[in-house]
Structures are given as structure tokens and as C-alpha cells.
Amino acid sequence: MEYQEYANEVLQELKKTLLSVSVNDTSAFVDLLLGAKEIFCAGAGRSGFEIKGFAMRLMHMGLNSYVVGETCTPNIDEGGLLVICSGSGETKSLVNHAQKAKSVGAKIALITIDPNSTIAKLADVVIEISAPSPKSAHEGRIHSIQPMGSLFEQTEGIYMDIVIMMLMERKGMNSDTMFGRHANME
């Protein structure tokens, strides 16, 4: 296949996965984000890269957001929300984070392929992205020409950007108001 054919196929896959996400679950996720005192973001591997971008955008909005595992991340408590990106929902370190958050009364939101995973059972909101992954026992309904969990990882990144746009609308913000919090020591 040529570049244009690959690009077209990837775009079609992304359209299918993004449009398969539950509107009701997304609304509940946005409500959790708006109601949280602090938002803690966790993921491993490529999902970890995606969730860091989400934490950054939350910070640009003026929300108290942190990346779990960073040295300046405070403790989570009852007013906190833990957002986890995990295709399998079974990554041991992320399961541990979810269990800790639950034990202190924090809320949990999970973005995953498997809505029946260990973390999903602990979560207050589960966002299912139907995509294939070699690490998930739950095979998504949408198949991909891309390797490994690429479709899930791409979709979760774009999904979180859409959630940011929904938050912006709810908070009456635009890109200009957010840019005022952009890093200036680069």
C-alpha cells in the first residue's frame, strides 16, 4: 500500500473507534473532571505518553492536575479523581494505583479496551474504546491494520483532546485563555 492508502485506512479506523465511545459515559467523565478537587493521571507505555498530554491540557485550563509517579505529585484523597489509561485494565502498577485511590475515597475514571477488567471493576466511570490490543483479553469490535495497540493509543489521545474541548465549552474558555498558562521557560 502507498502512504495515501495507509493514511485513509488509519483515518477510517479512528473514525470508527471515536464514534463508538459512549456519549453518556463521556458526559459522566466530564462531570467527574469538573467536580474533582485534583486530577491525577496515570498510564504506562504509550498510554502513559497520551495521559501526560491530557494532564498538561488540564493544567492549561487552570485545573489541579498531576501525573502519577512524578516527584512533585501530591497524595490523592477523597476529593481527588484518578484518570487511568490502560488498554488491558490489568497493568499491575495501575491496578495498585486504582486500589490506593479507592481506599482513600477518591473517584476513578478508566479509559480502556476491556470494560470488565480489574481496574474497570474499581472505576466510577469506564470509557470503552473498542480497539484491538495484544495485551487485552477483551478484543475490541473494531479491527486494525496497525501494529499492536496503536489504534487504542491514538484513539485515547484524540478522545482526551475532545474531552478537553467539552471542558473548555463548559468553562467558557478558548485556546487564547488557555495559552496564558502555557510554559514560558522552554
User: In a 10 Å sphere around its CB, with 0-12 CB exposed, 13-18 middle and 19+ buried, how is residue 26 labelled?
Assistant: middle
Q: What's the CA gap between 83 and 18, in Å, rounded?
A: 18
- Active-site option among 153, 156, 169, 186: 153
Active-site residue, 2 included = no
Contacts 24+ apart (CB under 8 A), 19-27: 20/128, 20/129, 20/130, 20/141, 20/142, 21/127, 21/128, 21/129, 21/159, 22/127, 22/128, 25/125, 25/126, 25/127, 25/128, 26/127, 26/163, 26/166
Give the other-Cβ count within 10 Å of 17's Cβ. Answer: 25
117 secondary structure, DSSP code: S
Nearest to 14, CA basis, from 164, 157, 173: 157
Catalytic residues: 153
